[in-house]
């Protein structure tokens, strides 16, 4: 089934994922509009990262995942497989995805995430947590990605950097029409930036605008208990 080209960029229907005999995701269906920022929330082990892996097609699943034909996915994993202290410069890191990139093209991507060119020769270990997350975002954007899948964008970085990462995603969404799908634990940031929220706890438990979802009874249902962080923000 083809996703509606004008509206949906992603359509997921009756998705189930079983890993090592364990049912991780069961019968999940949802859609993502072009240019939307969808955030997936849920407790640890609820299948959020597994859902991402199914979306990028690296694990087997049943059901259907339909991306629009013009989709170019940029994926930012939660963890890298390598040690950041290896002698790899930011330039090596970014060129790994496309070594034909001209310096001007590279600058275009760096400008999108507000990362200075001067960091290019620096080893990865030299970058701060926030700079590194933006470097990951740059790597994901290379190739003119129009969908960004970001697993825990703010894991392991300080609060001002968290804010900058979300601001950057928001700008990409607003200026470039990039569709953004994030996994997050931080409900205060979700409330401010996401257009829609999908609560996951094996099944999709709720879906809707953050203000409809972020109420104590829904969150208790998703997280099981009151083990969640919830702050209200008033927009002026």
Partner 1 sequence: MTIPMDNFDKLSIILAVLTAVASGLLGSFALMRRMALAGDAFSHIALPGIALALLFHVNPIIGGAVALIIGAFIIWRVEKLSGLNTEAVTGVLFTVSLALGALTIGQDHELVDTLFGGISKFSVYEFIIGVIVALIIIIFVIYRRHALVLSLISKDLAKTAHLSTEKLEWQFLLLFALTVVLGLKFLGVLLMGSLIIIPAAIARNLAHNLNSLLIISALSAVLAMVGGMILSTYFALQLGPAIIIVAGGLFVLSLLRVRSI
Per CB under 8 A, residues contacting partner 1 are 53, 56-58, 73-77, 80-82, 85-89, 91-93, 95-97, 99, 121, 123, 125-126, 139-140, 143
| Least distance between partner 1 and beta carbon 40 (Å) | 16
Q: Which is nearer to partner 1, 87 or 236 (CB)?
A: 87
DSSP bridge partners of 13:
64
| CA–CA distance, 80 with 50 (Å, rounded to integer) | 16
Which one, of 136, 115, 132, lies nearest residue 123 by Cα?
Answer: 132
Q: Which is nearer to partner 1, 180 or 222 (CB)?
A: 180
**Non-local CB neighbours of 220 within 8 Å, separated by 6+ positions:** 226, 228
| Least distance between partner 1 and beta carbon 142 (Å) | 8
Q: Which is nearer to partner 1, 61 or 223 (CB)?
A: 61
Q: Which is nearer to partner 1, 103 or 208 (CB)?
A: 103
| Least distance between partner 1 and beta carbon 180 (Å) | 15
Which one, of 138, 149, 211, lies nearest residue 179 by Cα?
Answer: 149
CA distances from 92 to 75, 99, 117, 128, 224 (A): 18, 9, 13, 17, 44
| Least distance between partner 1 and beta carbon 132 (Å) | 12
Helix residue spans in 56-120 (DSSP H): 90-95, 103-112
C-alpha triplet 144, 64, 202: angle, nearest 5°: 100
Q: Which is nearer to partner 1, 147 or 222 (CB)?
A: 147
Q: How many other CB atoms sit within 10 Å of the CB of residue 64? A: 12
| Least distance between partner 1 and beta carbon 109 (Å) | 14
The whole-angstrom distance between residue 60's C-alpha and the CA centroid of its chain comes to 20
| Least distance between partner 1 and beta carbon 121 (Å) | 7
Q: What are the φ and ψ backbone dihedral angles of 201, each rounded to 5 degrees?
A: -150, 75
Which one, of 11, 37, 27, lies nearest residue 153 by Cα?
Answer: 37
Q: Which is nearer to partner 1, 70 or 232 (CB)?
A: 70
């Amino acid at each position: 089934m083809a996703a509606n080209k004008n509206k949906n960029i992603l359509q997921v229907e009756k998705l189930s994922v079983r890993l090592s005999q364990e049912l991780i995701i069961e019968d999940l269906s949802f859609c993502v509009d072009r240019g939307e920022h969808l955030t997936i929330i849920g407790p640890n082990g609820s299948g959020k990262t597994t859902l991402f892996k199914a979306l990028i097609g690296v694990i087997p699943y049943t059901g259907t995942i339909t991306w629009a034909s013009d989709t170019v996915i940029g994926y930012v994993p939660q963890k890298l497989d390598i040690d950041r202290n290896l002698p790899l410069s930011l330039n090596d890191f970014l060129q790994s995805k496309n070594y034909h990139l001209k310096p001007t093209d590279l600058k275009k991507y760096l400008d999108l995430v507000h990362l200075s060119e001067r960091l290019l020769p620096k080893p990865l270990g030299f970058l701060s947590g926030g700079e590194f997350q933006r470097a990951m975002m740059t790597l994901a954007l290379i190739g003119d990605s129009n969908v960004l899948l970001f697993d825990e964008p703010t894991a392991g970085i300080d609060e001002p950097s968290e804010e900058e990462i979300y601001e950057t995603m928001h700008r990409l969404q607003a200026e470039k029409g990039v569709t953004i799908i994030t996994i997050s634990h931080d409900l205060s940031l979700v409330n401010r930036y996401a257009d829609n929220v999908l609560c996951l706890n094996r099944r999709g438990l709720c879906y809707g605008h953050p203000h409809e979802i972020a109420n104590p009874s829904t969150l208790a249902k998703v997280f099981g208990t009151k083990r969640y962080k919830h702050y209200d923000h008033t927009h002026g």
